[in-house]
Structure 1
Amino acid sequence: MKVLVLLTLVFLASARPDNHYDKKYDNFKVDELVSNSRLLKAYALCFLGRSKCTPEGHDIKRWIDEGTETRCAKCTPKQKVLVAKFIKALMEHCPEEWELLQKRSDPEGKQTDELKKFLDEFAP
């Protein structure tokens, strides 16, 4: 489930007392991110530890493991949509980075069905 969290954290910075990630990323301009292949790849490389991170990417990267383990339980509904859009774009436009992220977070492919359900629900 690390793949899901990885993408969820692209839009999240920190946990809030109400058990959700910071809502400041609820309005993150994901459409601008996913329409820019260079920027999309830069975020992926940041999460892989192969490139410098933006301030947002750095903060979000810290929450990837937790998000993966909980299926983005601390994400707001808006954040789940943002994460799903990011994942779909990454799969389509940066397949090599997506494969590396997937192998790193789910090497045995056990979360593939859960990820598909998540994408179908939040980014149909």
Structure 2
Amino acid sequence: MKLILVLAFVAVVAARPDADFDRYENFDVTQLTENDRLLRAYTECFLGTGKCTPEGNDFKNWIPQSVEDNCSKCSEKQKTLIAQVINAIKEKLAEEWEKLNKLYNPEGKFDKTLSEFLDKYGH
């Protein structure tokens, strides 16, 4: 199984411990993961090929950390949110997932840790 991102890529995540990050503790991830149009728009933001909402920009900034170190600065709720977004992208937007994978994990060296992260938090 190829890289399991993010975030989102969910996230996935260069998380920073500031007040803005805390606002995602109550973010309804199902509104994003169950709306294909919205999920595609966020994914295009993450890829740099589409416009970003403020939330999309935040998630995009968090992707690298989630790929590299399982979002170590994130709360448990935020890890779950990021993993669910990544899994939705993988399942619904396979072609875009491949692009995200190449963008944030070009050498595949984070495949194992990312897979473990998604297995643990992506449900």
**TM-score, scaled relative to structure 2:** 0.82
- In the alignment, the residues of structure 1 paired with residue 46 and residue 37 of structure 2 have an alpha-carbon distance, to the nearest angstrom, of 14
**Where does residue 77 of structure 2 map in the other structure?**
78
- In the alignment, the residues of structure 2 paired with residue 91 and residue 68 of structure 1 have an alpha-carbon distance, to the nearest angstrom, of 14
Pairing 1:117–2:123 present: no
**Structure 1 position 27, deviation (Å):** 1.3
User: Would you say the 8 A contact 2:15–2:74 is kept in 1?
Assistant: no
Matched to 1:86, the amino acid is: V
**Where does residue 42 of structure 1 map in the other structure?**
41
Could you tell me the percent identity over the aligned residues? 46
Structure 1 unaligned segments of length 5 or more: list them.
Answer: none
- In the alignment, the residues of structure 2 paired with residue 81 and residue 52 of structure 1 have an alpha-carbon distance, to the nearest angstrom, of 24
Q: Give the number of equivalent residue pairs.
A: 121
Root-mean-square deviation (CA, aligned residues, Å) is 2.8
Change (3 A) 1:92 1:8: closer
- In the alignment, the residues of structure 1 paired with residue 49 and residue 34 of structure 2 have an alpha-carbon distance, to the nearest angstrom, of 22
**TM-score, scaled relative to structure 1:** 0.81
**Where does residue 15 of structure 1 map in the other structure?**
16
Structure 2 unaligned segments of length 5 or more: list them.
Answer: none
User: Would you say the 8 A contact 1:8–1:80 is kept in 2?
Assistant: no
**Where does residue 105 of structure 1 map in the other structure?**
104
Change (3 A) 1:66 1:92: closer
User: Would you say the 8 A contact 1:14–1:21 is kept in 2?
Assistant: no
